[in-house]
Amino acid sequence: MAPKRQAQGAGSSSRPQKKTHVDVNPETQDKLHAWVLGDRSTPWYNDGDILLKANGKFFRVHVSVLAGASGYFQDLVPSIEQGEKLFEGCAVLEINCSDRKLRHVLRALYKRSFEDLSRLPETVELEAWLHLATNFRIWPLRQEAIDCILDAYPPDLKTFEDRLEACCVAESKGNRTLDAMLVAFLAMDHDLDTFLPSILYACCQSRLGMLGIYQILDETQRYAKRLKRQKFTFDAFFDLYGDIMEKCYAGFSRLAVAHHDLLMAVFDAKFSPRCDQTLECRITLGILRERAFVMGDRPSIPRLDWLKDLDTAGKLCPPCHEYTRQITAVKRQEIWQRLPDIFDLDKHPDVAHGPRGRS
């Protein structure tokens, strides 16, 4: 079993520094003014009463909005109120994180007037929400990120099958394998291990098999490099690459075995006790068995009606179909419950979190 990865790198190691006022002594107020306006970023509200500075960029926002969402900022309100107002009556607070991350979090806090709620977030946005929501104690924002993941990768099999085409992040552009891979990196980097079984299972559903998984892993690597060039600290991608590849590789072959075992369980059960045409059904099951195994093992859980779909001529009697369906239903759940072992994960999916039904 792979060792559990410690949270590290840009993902989660650093906490924001407390009340660090901007460390400059501009000779005149005009110079400070020009400096701030030259490096201002959005969101920027002219009636904002605090300047946040991150990575050389300034954001003008409202103390009330920050304190209303974040326990971290709530604790800072007294020192902000008492502190020096360096720019147009605003206190200036330096935040120890990338300006892009802070921007994503501020946009999310102001989103009712700022954002199109129906669009999918980008990977970097989700990452910023998960990272800074934890550091600044903005729990609804962390839950928002988790809900986005759960909506595309729900922890129960039936809902998962209803959401097979769903994606979680914008840049996957409908490519479910790429989407699952990007989300797998995020989930592993932010200790969301309980959501990994369904995410990694989705990774293994590439139509191109293991080759498809390798291609998508390479694509996510290239994407992470692009982000790095844009100064977005996403080092965790590189640390996690091997871990995800191992899990997919192990899971892929174990799922194929589980698929084969389910088929065997159905065919070995022979016909239903209520069958009144046992000879015909026995012959039909023999033909279907050959057909099923010629199609080969797949790294997936067969659909509930897989045998009915295979019996195109409808030769098997209804009680036998119902019988095989019941066996399939039990075995399907068994495989789904075993996903944490199949992917060498430590925990079971946490079914307490339901999908949110985001459209």
The phi, psi pair for 166, rounded to 5°, reads -75, 145
**339/332 Cα distance (integer angstroms):** 11
Going through the chain in order, the beta strands assigned E by DSSP cover: 40-44, 50-54, 57-61, 85-87, 90-94
How many residues line the site for Zn ion (CB under 5 A)? 5
Minimum distance between the CB of residue 279 and Zn ion, rounded to whole angstroms? 9
At 204, the amino acid letter reads C
The answer to the question of residue 323 lying near Zn ion (CB under 5 A) is no
Nearer to Zn ion, 138 or 320 (CB): 320
Which span (19-27, 195-203, 278-286, 350-358) binds Zn ion, by CB under 5 A? 278-286
Among 51, 275, 339, 342, binds Zn ion (CB under 5 A): 275
Nearer to Zn ion, 183 or 281 (CB): 281
Minimum distance between the CB of residue 284 and Zn ion, rounded to whole angstroms? 8
Longest dimension (CA), the chain: 98
**129/145 Cα distance (integer angstroms):** 7
Nearer to Zn ion, 267 or 271 (CB): 271
Nearer to Zn ion, 216 or 292 (CB): 292
Nearer to Zn ion, 66 or 316 (CB): 316
Q: 3-class SS at 27?
A: coil
Give the β-pairing of 57-61 and 85-87: unpaired
Among 86, 133, 184, 281, binds Zn ion (CB under 5 A): 281
Nearer to Zn ion, 10 or 275 (CB): 275
Minimum distance between the CB of residue 319 and Zn ion, rounded to whole angstroms? 6
Nearer to Zn ion, 87 or 271 (CB): 271
Give the β-pairing of 90-94 and 50-54: parallel
219 membership: H or E segment, kind and range: helix 209-229
- Window 291 to 320, contacts with Zn ion (CB under 5 A): 317, 320
> What are the Cα distances from residue 227, in Å, to 15, 37, 66?
22, 26, 27
359 membership: H or E segment, kind and range: none
Minimum distance between the CB of residue 259 and Zn ion, rounded to whole angstroms? 24
- Window 16 to 55, contacts with Zn ion (CB under 5 A): none
Minimum distance between the CB of residue 270 and Zn ion, rounded to whole angstroms? 9
Nearer to Zn ion, 90 or 275 (CB): 275
**Contacting residues for 264 by C-beta, under 8 A, at least 6 apart:** none
Helix 176-189 and helix 139-152: axis angle, to 10°?
140
Give how far the C-alpha of residue 178 lies from the chain's centroid of Cα atoms, to the nearest Å.
Answer: 11
Minimum distance between the CB of residue 127 and Zn ion, rounded to whole angstroms? 54
Minimum distance between the CB of residue 312 and Zn ion, rounded to whole angstroms? 17
- Window 168 to 207, contacts with Zn ion (CB under 5 A): none
Edge-first strand listing for the sheet containing 50-54: 40-44, 57-61, 50-54, 90-94, 85-87
Which span (11-19, 30-38, 262-270, 271-279) binds Zn ion, by CB under 5 A? 271-279
Which positions touch Zn ion (CB under 5 A)?
271, 275, 281, 317, 320
